[in-house]
Chain A
């Protein structure tokens, strides 16, 4: 059933000169088991939208349905919603506070009322998924490096085993190695648990490599919500709303416009290479 957003509108500072519509009549459905990349420039409403999905913000109008149930209805238990929809904020490493890494990861599931073997299983499994080494578990989180701390913070949310995991720019500020490590771990988590993942990112390359579908936000509205192929095919429009498409997409788009026999929907290096080698293979046969 997944998560459904119906005509969601969110306004700030209503009735003051600063009134602003951050999310404007957004409707969409997030099916179970997908990886969805969420992109949009700063101020596009993407962060405001995702903060509604676990009830951190209450819509000015519209509804959010989790498995058919309005999360803000009287019957709904908002606390339970937050266990089902886990949100990892930007720079989550600044939110660690416990004495040991183990305790920090255990904080969420403990609040759910878990203890004993089940709690231990959850901590160990989440640590494994997020790439937290066993040797760190009894250390203070403050002894770890920035990238390591971030993985601990992600493990803390994974340990609640949310049906939907939302990560707001989990790779911001990391070097390429750290970025690939975290994205690889999130993919592994998705493949093993089949849980839904929403990944908010500024990196079109990461989204192209990683997501099944892409949600593009612009000026509070859904600009596009489609497969990676279909979204990046609209590279000119994406540039017009101040998003940058992958370099390789630009190059292939340009060549296709010049009527070279290349596909215009190329966004990763391996795919570009494959297509070019296919073309070259043909050329050799004809020669």
Chain B
């Protein structure tokens, strides 16, 4: 089986205070392949977090269904299995840490699952090494920076040995350094351990680093493609309240002026390359 998560025609609605039905997800079908790094973009209120919460049965679809490794998320008997396969990391690191010592926090879920103490020790050490927080194992969480806390939260999930990690804006509250640390950790997990990653983010430079990007707008799946395909559609992204990376925007803007340049430039190096060609042409012309 190639898909780890399959969402089929998922619909979800909230009831507002005035008893109005608010349709948050509107017939969304999406599958996440084993081992891929998928980014989910969308403005606040687009439904992207609601979708993510369907991936480990925190929310259940109103209609349609979600399968995690073939298990239906509405099947209560499989709830434990589902949550062990798909772990979630949230935005605010302070809301996710429960213990007073880093390694105890990472061990928390394993203790609840009744894992044998020796095995807990092994898995906690490994998880802390994976996120490069092993040296801090005996620190109190309040002594850590935001990025470090978020990596401890990720270690807590890793210790359960999930096949897939869903991260809901894990870097939104971090400074640039913390963001880089967390993203580096996520990428290493994906590349070196083959963990499937679903990253919900507002940061386009993070989405650029993934294998595949989907854009959610008004509860619907608007775009689905490689970063290059998605970020070629500058106008559409701006219409739905999203940015594009500066380098992508510059090349796009120059194209609009009639210059013959490639689509979907994503990185600083690519942008510099395109501009070098452009400037060399002037020299020759001059």
Contact = CB atoms under 8 A, between A and B. Distances in A.
Interface of A: 41-43, 143, 145-147, 172-178, 202, 205, 242-244, 246-248, 250-251, 254-255, 258, 260-262, 269, 272-273, 276-277, 279-280, 282-284, 286-287
A230 B173 CA distance: 29
Contact of B43 (A172, A175, A244, A248): A175
A174 B44 contact: yes
Contacts of B259: 280
Contact of A175 (B44, B145, B249, B275): B44
B243 A176 contact: yes
B175 A42 contact: yes
Contacts of B279: 255, 260-262, 279
A42 B177 contact: yes
B257 A250 contact: no
21 contacts: A41-B177, A42-B145, A42-B177, A42-B178, A145-B44, A146-B44, A175-B44, A175-B242, A202-B176, A242-B176, A247-B247, A247-B268, A255-B272, A255-B275, A255-B279, A269-B250, A276-B275, A276-B278, A280-B278, A283-B281, A287-B286
A283 B186 CA distance: 45
Contacts of A244: 176
A216 to B, nearest CB: 13
Nearest to A140: B17
A178 B275 CA distance: 32
Interface of B: 17, 43-45, 91, 145-146, 169, 172-173, 175-178, 202, 205, 241-243, 245-247, 249-250, 253-254, 257, 259, 268, 271-272, 275-276, 278-279, 281-283, 285-286
A287 B43 CA distance: 46
A283 B285 contact: yes
A191 B83 CA distance: 52
Interface majority SS on A: helix, strand, loop or mixed? helix
Contacts of B276: 255, 258, 260
A242 B254 CA distance: 31
B245 A247 contact: yes
B209 to A, nearest CB: 14
Given A247-B245, A284-B285, A175 B202 contact: yes
A261 B286 CA distance: 13
A19 B161 CA distance: 40
A246 B254 CA distance: 18
